[in-house]
Structure 1
Amino acid sequence: MTTTAPVVEVLHGAVDLHCHSGPNPFAREFDHVEAARDAERLGMRGILVKSHHHNTVMDLLAMKRELSEVSTPVFGGIALNAQVGGINPYAVAMSLRMGGRAVWFPTFSSRCHCENDHHGFPESDVEIPNRIIDVTGDDGKLIDEVYDVIDLIVESDALLSAGHVKPAEAHAIFTAGRERGVRRMIISHPNFVIDADPGQCAELAELGAYIEHEVGMYDPMGFRKWDPALLLEWIRKIGPDRTVLSSDLGQRGRPMPVDAFRRVGEELLALGLGEDELRQVACRNPAFLLGLDAERPDPVAG
């Protein structure tokens, strides 16, 4: 696949909600500053950097001087895995009140992740203890700390991600989020790790969640090398108004996010996705979720 000018124009102002830049215990291809410089090539409005292990807001504060020299802003957040104490409202409060824009419920500490294979996840450069972090108790109901975290997300009008929890658990979290006033919710790679089908995702979208797919899995130079026709099928089933494209890149040996966005974006256009639809899923929807736009974008025509 080659890159042409139109896809660059369509993707100008994109927002990446799933960038795995470093520092990180997992080997990374680039750090947060290099990620921002890469995003600058596409005129990205912002990127959200994610670590499975720590609060990335602190990284960005330490890199503030270098990041100020790049036009694309970088935002951080916290993933509620064992390394931060699990479902820890104290850690969430610190992250959000110091500028964090996102909270991910357990990813590689989730029961769903731990009880399945690791799906080709990178190996850590250091030994990191882990344990299962459950979002529900023995009664099957969400634990109190989940509600405490949700209330903190509401306070900051931040993004709530279901992480790698099971679809039924994501449904419970999104239901609670909607009831308590969360405006920005997302579930990542439904057909990777969590195994959520389109019907389940449609139900989550009805609760107000956005369904995120990762160009790094559909790029021929990327991880899974899935056929972009599958991605288009997902977009058609859920609709561009509830779909987001992100990169999920930064792992050692994988492509730069902008290159993957370009290649996959061009293929989607060639397969019949409209330019306005591509802007909706890559630019407008994620801009709202990251808090760059105050309100949800208008639906795309058609």
Structure 2
Amino acid sequence: MGKVSMKGVIDMHVHTNPDLRIRAYDDLELCDAAVRVGARAIVIKSHLGSTVNRAYLTNRYNERVNGKNDFTMFGAIVLNSCVGGVNPVAVENALKLGAKVVWLPTSSARNHLQKLGKPTDGCVDVVRDGRIVPELEKVLELVKQYDAVLGTGHISVEEIFTVTKAAREMGVKKVVVTHPEWWIVNMSMEDQKRIVREYDVILERCYAQNKGVGAGHGYISNLPSNLETIKEIGYKNVLISTDGGQVENPHWELAEEEYLQYMLDHGIPEEHVRYMSHDLPCYLLGLEA
């Protein structure tokens, strides 16, 4: 198999500076890298809340510095405690300003804190007594209204099923299970198959993950397990994202290229790789494929 092309690629999950954790690129550096390789779009994510304003300024920078090109940066919002948790007002403002993804709690999720052995006082709950919290109903209505993407964040597998069921019943079209392979989420292959079968969701499979509590520093590749998932479940329900930006991992464009090349080299047809990295994210972002 020949060398993969990055032309038109879309990544819906990349972390950048400014952040409380040092990232490899800031927004402008990531933009420049994306333009260099001919990428179509990136969604920047921050556990600190909304990236919509940053995406707007990055696009203005791109116009002025890089000239005419096909790249667009998109913003999103993460419903951690720093934005008031499951806060419909924050979500509505972000969506009005162009946010494309609403992620449920990540670092503030009860499941995240429990897995790290941290106190759960002040955590952001999305489910209580087996039902989604009332505030989440309002958020889901907004996600539906703006045809945005609902990302499940770092909530538990049981909560993912509860939220997904409610979202589908309310008419939310675009539901993406955030890195189900990551040890914090830890969704089994059987549960990934089941949630796709029952709710036709998208599984966001990412480039790498940290080794977990007590395992020391560093990251391990998700690519072998991502390949297995594509073969087991089918490419139509898999989204290729890097979740990139960590200084421990290759820079974004290198990680993305390695990911795509790995899939091609291991027997995934080029048109399937394109679907997972071009066509599917185009649909999720409301772009023409």
TM-score (norm 2): 0.88
**Partner residue of 2:48?**
53
Show the 5 A alignment for 1:1-302. 6-8=3-5, 11-69=6-64, 70=66, 71=69, 72-117=71-116, 131-137=122-128, 139-192=129-182, 193-206=184-197, 207-217=199-209, 224-226=219-221, 228-293=223-288
- Separation (CA, whole Å) in 2 of partners of 1:248 and 1:258: 12
Deviation of 1:272 (Å): 1.1
* Partner SS, residue 127 of structure 2: coil
* Partner SS, residue 193 of structure 2: helix
User: Alpha carbons of 1:227 and 1:111: their partners in 2 closer, same or farther (altered >3 Å)?
Assistant: closer
Query: Do the aligned residues in 1 keep the contact of 2:10 with 2:40 (CA within 8 Å)?
Result: yes
Q: What is the CA RMSD across the aligned residues, in angstroms?
A: 2.2
Deviation of 1:63 (Å): 3.8
Question: Any gaps of 5 or more consecutive residues in structure 2?
Answer: 211-216
The one-letter code sitting in structure 2 at the alignment partner of 1:78 is: I
* Partner SS, residue 186 of structure 1: strand
- Separation (CA, whole Å) in 2 of partners of 1:241 and 1:109: 31
The one-letter code sitting in structure 2 at the alignment partner of 1:282 is: S
Query: Do the aligned residues in 2 keep the contact of 1:247 with 1:261 (CA within 8 Å)?
Result: yes
Deviations 1:71-91 (A, max 9, x none): 310001110001100000010
Query: Do the aligned residues in 2 keep the contact of 1:229 with 1:271 (CA within 8 Å)?
Result: no
- Separation (CA, whole Å) in 2 of partners of 1:149 and 1:73: 25
Query: Do the aligned residues in 2 keep the contact of 1:216 with 1:223 (CA within 8 Å)?
Result: no
TM-score (norm 1): 0.85
The one-letter code sitting in structure 2 at the alignment partner of 1:132 is: C
User: Alpha carbons of 1:279 and 1:62: their partners in 2 closer, same or farther (altered >3 Å)?
Assistant: closer
What's the % identity of the aligned pairs? 30
User: Alpha carbons of 1:163 and 1:96: their partners in 2 closer, same or farther (altered >3 Å)?
Assistant: same
Deviation of 1:179 (Å): 1.5
The one-letter code sitting in structure 2 at the alignment partner of 1:266 is: Q
User: Alpha carbons of 1:130 and 1:276: their partners in 2 closer, same or farther (altered >3 Å)?
Assistant: farther
- Separation (CA, whole Å) in 1 of partners of 2:54 and 2:256: 25
- Separation (CA, whole Å) in 2 of partners of 1:261 and 1:22: 19
Deviation of 1:130 (Å): 8.2
Question: Any gaps of 5 or more consecutive residues in structure 1?
Answer: 119-128, 298-302
The count of residues paired between Structure 1 and Structure 2 equals 275
Comparing 93-102 with 34-43, which one deviates more in the overlay?
34-43
Deviation of 1:264 (Å): 2.4
The one-letter code sitting in structure 2 at the alignment partner of 1:239 is: G
User: Alpha carbons of 1:251 and 1:131: their partners in 2 closer, same or farther (altered >3 Å)?
Assistant: farther
Query: Do the aligned residues in 1 keep the contact of 2:47 with 2:80 (CA within 8 Å)?
Result: yes
**Partner residue of 1:300?**
none
Deviation of 1:68 (Å): 2.4
User: Alpha carbons of 1:93 and 1:24: their partners in 2 closer, same or farther (altered >3 Å)?
Assistant: same
Deviation of 1:64 (Å): 4.4
